[in-house]
Structure 1
Amino acid sequence: MARPKRSSAALQKAEKREAGLQSISDNLDLGNNLTLESYTQRIQALRSQIFTYNSTLSTLDDLSRDIKDAEQVLRSLSEQMLLGVAAKYGKDSGEYGKAGGVPKSEYRRPTRKKPESVADSPQTVASKPMNEEIFQIMSEPKAVNGNGNGKVLVS
C-alpha cells in the first residue's frame, strides 16, 4: 500500500498571501527583515522540502515492494529446498528434521473419543423422568390469558 503523500495547508495559504503581497509591490519591504523576497524564499524552501519528502516516500514504496517480492521468492526457494531434502532423504529422516521439516514419525495424530451409546449415557437415564415431568407440567394449564385468545400461561 502506497504511503500518502504530504501537502501543506500553510504552504497553500502562504502562496495566496504571496500573490496578494506582490500585487502591492514587487519589492515590498515592511522592515525588521520582512521582505517579499525573504517570504518567497521561505515558501520555496518549504515547497522543496515537501517535494523531497514525497519523492522519498515514492522511493520507499518501491523499496517496500521490492522487499515483498524478494520475501516471496525466498519463501518459495525455502519450500523447494525442504522438498528437495524430503525427496533425497525422505520425510521421516533426521536430515528432513534438520532442514526444518517435521518428520512423519513425529506427526501428532488427533485422538478421537469413542461416542458413548445413547442408552448407556448417564445423562439420558437421568433425563428421562425429567422429560416426562416437563411434559406433564406443560400440558396442565395453570392460568389463562385474560384477553380471551385462549393462550395458556405456564409458570
Structure 2
Amino acid sequence: MPRQKLNSSTLSKAQQRAVSLGAIDQNLDLGRDLTLQGYTAAIATHKTNLDNYNRTLSEIDQLALAVQDSEKVLKDLTERMLLAVGAFYGKDSEEYVMAGGARKSAVAHTMSKARIGVAKKKKASPAIGQLTAG
C-alpha cells in the first residue's frame, strides 16, 4: 500500500496571499525583514521540501516492493537449496542437517486428534471375527 503523500493547505494559502501582496506592490517591504521577495522565497523553499518529501515517499514505496519481491525469490531459493541437498545427499545425511534440515529418522511423526480418536475406537471395539455368542 503506497504511503500517503502530503498536501499543504498552508502552502496554498501562502501562494494566494503572495499573489494578493504582489498586487499591492511587487517590491513590498513592510520592514523588519518582511518583504515580498523573502515571503516568496520561503514559499519556494517549503514547496521544494514538500515535493522532495513526496518524491522520496514514492521511491521508498518502490524500494519496499523490490524488497518484497527479492524476499519471495530468496525464500523460494532457500527452500529449493535445502530440498536439493536432501535429494543429493539424502534426508538422513549429515550434510542435510548441516544445511538446516532435520533428519528424516529424527522427525517425530504425530497423529492428528481425529486419527487418534479413530485409533482408540478401533482398539475399543472387537473385530468382527472375535465376536462371541453369549
TM-score, normalised to structure 2, is 0.78
Residues 1:47 and 2:32 aligned together: no
Q: Alpha-carbon deviation of 1:102?
A: 2.0
Partner of 2:131: none
Partner of 1:135: none
Give the number of the structure whose residues are more often helix, by fraction.
2
2:18 & 2:108 partners in 1: Cα distance? 74
Partner of 1:100: 100
1:38 aligned counterpart, secondary structure: helix
One-letter amino acid of the counterpart of residue 32, structure 2: N
TM-score, normalised to structure 1, is 0.69
Partner of 2:109: 109
Number of positions where the alignment pairs a residue of Structure 1 with one of Structure 2: 118
Q: Alpha-carbon deviation of 1:101?
A: 1.5
Q: Alpha-carbon deviation of 1:110?
A: 1.9
For CA contacts below 8 A with separation 6 or more, give which structure has more relative contact order.
Answer: 2
2:124 & 2:13 partners in 1: Cα distance? 81
Root-mean-square deviation over aligned CA pairs: 1.9
Residue deviations 1:106-152, cap 9 Å, x none? 2222253624859xxxxxxxxxxxxxxxxxxxxxxxxxxxxxxxxxx
Residue deviations 1:1-49, cap 9 Å, x none? 2211112121111111112211222111111111111000000000000
Which runs of structure 2 are paired with 1:46-65 in the superposition (5 Å)?
46-65=46-65
Q: Percent identity?
A: 44
Gaps of 5+ in 1: 119-155
Partner of 2:128: none
Q: Of the two, which has the highest radius of gyration?
A: 1
1:32 aligned counterpart, secondary structure: coil
Partner of 1:38: 38
